[in-house]
Amino acid sequence: MNSVNGSGEHQHQPDNPAPDELREAGRELRQKANDLRKDLVGQLNKAAAALRQEVRDKSSDPSLHQSVDEAATGLEKAAVYLNNHSVEDMGVEAVRTVKQNPVPMVAVVFVVGLIIGLLLRGGKR
């Protein structure tokens, strides 16, 4: 591929290395995302255990224990899902969900965007 350098002369460049660099950057990004996913699994499980322990130590209310146990179970289910699915799997599943349910997904994205916008705007009124 030829390009013009600053002097107006044509300079020959080697074959475009950008695709290789992009593939390498994508590979590194996927690896970092998978490492983060593994760390998050551990943190979710620790948070679930800490929630249960904290409530047991500070309260004897059975209904509070049940509510916290349900929340902790939700954290553990999220950890199991993250542990059993790679970043690529989750991406494929997200694309499939959007294709199957485009209107609800657009609504969810709109609401999330609205909330983020309001939070960023914050005290600027």
**Hey, is 86 helix, strand or coil?**
coil
Write out pLDDT tens, residues 48-93.
Answer: 999 999 999 998 899 999 999 999 999 999 999 999 998 889 889 9
Domain count, the chain: 1
| pLDDT tens for each residue of 88-122 | 898 899 899 889 988 988 898 899 999 988 888 87
Q: How many CB atoms neighbour CB 72 within 10 A?
A: 20
Q: Work out the percent of the chain whose per-residue pLDDT is above 70.
A: 84
Is residue 15's pLDDT more than 70? no
Domain range enclosing 73: 2-84
Alpha helices in 14-101 (DSSP H): 18-58, 62-84, 87-100
Is 113 within a domain? no
Whether residue 69 is contained in a domain is answered as yes
Q: How far apart are CA 67 and CA 62, in angstroms?
A: 9
Is residue 123 situated within a structural domain?
no
Indicate whether 117 belongs to any domain.
no
